[in-house]
Amino acid sequence: MIELSSSFIAMAYVMVVAITVGAVAALLQKDLLRAAFISGAESIALAFFFQALLAPDLGLTQAIVGTVLLPGIIILGIFKTRRTEED
């Protein structure tokens, strides 16, 4: 049990960095499609974090919703409008 939680905390450190960097990187992209994909990657990191925080069911939900459904909706919007951000 001890080694399990210590491996979780190592994972949590990585995930904090991944989430923060992913969020900032998503918002800095000029290409909106890439921004949507990066926000999906950030969602995967969040799903692993939920796993570490003892909520594996939420991790599964977040993995599906955050990587497929939400970016899907946003990508649909991008295809109906325009792909790059105008100045």
Partner 1 sequence: MIEVTIQLLGFIAAAALVVIGIAGMLFLDNLIKKIISFTLLSDGVNLLLVALGYVEGGVVPILIPGMSVSEFATRAALVFPVGIVLTNIVIGVSTTAILVALAIMLYRRYGTLKASKVLKGERR
* Residues found near partner 1 in the complex (CB under 8 A): 1, 5, 8-9, 12-13, 15-16, 19-20, 23-24, 26-27, 32, 35-36, 39, 42-43, 46, 49-50, 52-58, 61-62, 65-66, 69-70, 73-74, 76-78, 80-82, 85-86
- How far apart CA 72 and CA 37 sit, in angstroms, is 9
Q: What is the CA radius of gyration of the chain?
A: 15
Return the number of the residue (3 or 57) whose C-beta is nearest partner 1.
57
In the complex, minimum distance from the CB of residue 51 to partner 1, in angstroms, rounded to a whole number? 9
Gap between the Cα atoms of 43 and 6, Å rounded: 23
Backbone angles phi, psi at 55, to 5 degrees: -130, 70
